[in-house]
Structure 1
Amino acid sequence: MTLLAGARVFDPETGETTRADVRLDGERIAEVGPGLDGDQRVDCSGGLLIPGLIDCHVHVAFRRPEPLPRSARILEAVPVLRGLLARGITTVRDAWGADAGFKHALAQGWISGPDLLVSLRQLGPTGGLGDTWDPAAGAVDNYGDPSLPDPLFDGPDAARAAVRRMVRAGADWIKVGASGSMRAVRAGVDVRPTDAELAAVVDEAGRCGRDVLAHAHTSAAVVSAARAGARSIEHGTFLEDDAVAALANAWYVPTLSPMSDTEFAGTHRRSLRLAVEAGVRIAAGSDLAPRPHVDLTTELRLLAAVLGDAAALKAATSEAARLLRLDGDRGRIESGLRADLVLLDGTDLDVTDLPGRVRAVWHDGERAGALTSP
């Protein structure tokens, strides 16, 4: 057994830290408390142990803007995944781009990285966000990959069929575009699913044992997706009171990072404040897609400016695990849970520069390698 000794341990549910040792038994936490013994002692004095971080919205294999062979998208994900784990991110939900083969490669040890949940593609109607039709070329699939099935639907029955295609290809979650892209929203050409289509997506996903995450920038799209039963609403850039009320039965994953340097940053922060004031459950997601990549450590800094450090860390640990239905397995440092832990230098909760504070990462009880440049 490995003993992590001498650190303060963070409890995301209370926001407090206590002095304790943590004993690991294989991939599980065996015991947490003072004065423990273990076969292999790791000196963690002067440090803070937090649960492994969970990013609820990533794109580890998003298509590149330049025309490159399909293999470039896949191979780029290898250093991205390795870097996430080295920064203490031990579980991620991919929101469009990674297929079931990535999960297999991680499970086989061919590549290193966090545990990965995949949604494959973003479902949507003709003309919506998942439609890659090009005015000059017509119907073009920018992925061109049979492991990422056709995401388009028109009508409730076709929406159900699209869900089934994703499940057949190995999707853990079903993603739907309840609004279009930010560009489409700004241009006033936001093609959205009907309420009947959204209801069909959520119902069919449930019949297949899957939950739904919904891309939604506008307040109207948030209302439609939340009322249809989506478990999480992503982005929510332009929330109004009706959308905040609708979020009472969902999680809000605001993904502040991509908007942080745009004209909508202030509006986005206002939306988050409205949600927090209303008691909406917040889970952290970075929207890891723009290049150069931002990751959850950037998102936490932005969340902390609104929520505070402790609540930001909760959004990326216990609350994120709750959203993903993994709270019985990870997200807290408790006996019986997965031994996913991060040791930070210093004992405060400051998330301003988490990468600079990471001293060690344990994933499934195994110490992960340090971050190296690809």
Structure 2
Amino acid sequence: MSTLLTGALVFDPDSGETTRADVLMAGDRIEAVGSDLSGDERVDCSGGVLIPGLIDCHVHVAFPRPDPLPRSARVLEAVPVLRRLLERGITTVRDAWGADAGFQHALREGWITGPDLLVSLRQLGPSGGLGDWWQPDLGRVDRIDDPSLPDAVFDGPAQARAAVRRMVRAGADWIKLGASGAFRQVGENRSVAPTDEELHAVVDEARRCGRDVMAHAHTASTASAAARAGVRSIEHGVFLDEVSIADMRARECWYVPTLAALDGVAEAFAAHRKSLAMALAAGVPIAAGSDLAPRPHVDLRTELRLLAEAGLGDVGALRAATSEAARLLRLDRGRIAPGLRADIVLVDRLDVADLGVRAVWQAGSAVA
């Protein structure tokens, strides 16, 4: 069964250009882009623009709420979240802590609908780090405590390697590493970071297991250390400097700024935008991620608007959420070109503040 999308402009995120062309989808692939094409089904897309399916490189679709709720609430809340993301044109997401391999199984089986989901399970880190939940009255607590989300705390290179292996055993597509503490911990001078030896052990073991590493890092020094260790992407990077940006550029490390997470925190947001401007000027590759964890949820569409306003413009923001995101994640999508996966969104306009999503196709199938 083939489907021909006709009458629209086709957006190329790498060049920023739009061209009048038809798009033929066969199965889950884009078969051809051009004119004089035919297909079993014809869809009139006149007046619209076809863009690649959007990719969010940093989400938390099943992160626990701060409320004391039963464990099932974390899973059930994710069902409408995933559905709404797909309806808004977000066809692929990389979960950065919270979702396990069961969500992927449910999506494959059609029990739930949502974007293509890459999981990291939990955030690895040392004792006292962001992934080590601890309370003064109770000591260490685990707000998830699920065998499908293994223990992520380590101390020393050997334990760091073992933590990576636990994640891979449980189905992690990516390894998430806490190179710094949480934003609040950084501000209170309570941030605990891995040693260089631990960082290198995590990255090396991940590579041995065929995985890449994404590193949560708010400060310049922790971003530099993570980049030098060989992580593939720096997440957040609120307080970068010229040295950390040079380290990222030299090692072809992506930057996923997640501006939406600090939108409204005036002083921090200004520093965050400055970090992004320096990275952009230095040629660091930038991919889009919303940090979909705080409630009420924000999603990638908010992040795209903030990226555009911070200097990427509409085209640059869309590139960060399509072709550049696909390169970061090593995926066969992110552009509308023959042979790539047929994740396509029909929009009214190339204005990230108001795209006007009219239709979505994921792996060649129309999304209801």
Question: TM-score, with normalisation over the residues of structure 2?
Answer: 0.98
What is the CA–CA distance in structure 2 between the aligned matches of 1:58 and 1:230, rounded to whole Å?
18
1:311 aligns with 2:312: no
State yes or no: 1:269 paired with 2:273: yes
The residue number in structure 1 matching 2:302 is 298
What CA distance in whole angstroms lies between the structure 1 residues aligned with 2:71 and 2:140? 18
Determine the structure 2 residue equivalent to 1:258: 261
Letter in 1 for 2:257: P
Distance 2:261 2:109 in 1: 32
Q: Secondary structure at the match of 2:99?
A: coil
Map residues 1-374 of structure 1 onto 2, 5 A cutoff: 1-248=2-249, 249=251, 250-263=253-266, 264-305=268-309, 306-326=311-331, 329-346=332-349, 349-354=350-355, 357-369=356-368
Question: Could you report, residue by residue, the CA deviation over 1:117-149 in whole angstroms, capped at 9, with x for unpaired residues?
Answer: 000000000000000011111111000111100
Unmatched runs of 5 consecutive residues or more in structure 2: none
Instruction: Determine the C-alpha separation between the residues in 1 that align with 2:209 and 2:40.
Output: 44
The separation in 2 between residues aligned to 1:159 and 1:258, in whole angstroms, is 28
For structure 1, the residue ranges without an aligned partner over 5 or more in a row are 370-374
CA–CA distance in structure 2, aligned partners of residues 240 and 293 of structure 1: 30
- Aligned-residue sequence identity (percent) comes to 71
CA distance in 1: counterparts of 2:188 and 2:123, whole angstroms: 21
Stretches of 4+ aligned residues off by more than 4 angstroms:
none
Amino acid in structure 2 at the alignment position of 1:340 = D
Over the residues paired in the alignment, what is the CA RMSD in angstroms?
A: 0.7
The count of residues paired between Structure 1 and Structure 2 equals 363
**For each residue in 1:39-70, what CA deviation from the matched residue of structure 2 results, as whole angstroms up to 9, or x when unmatched?**
21111010000000000000000001100111
Q: Deviations 1:149-177 (Å, cap 9, x if unpaired)?
A: 00000000000000001001000000000
Instruction: Give the Cα separation in 1 of the matches to 2:4 and 2:148.
Output: 42
Alpha-carbon distance in 2 for matches of 1:244, 1:322: 19
Alpha-carbon distance in structure 2 between the residues aligned to 1:64 and 1:261: 21
TM-score, normalized by length of structure 1?
0.96
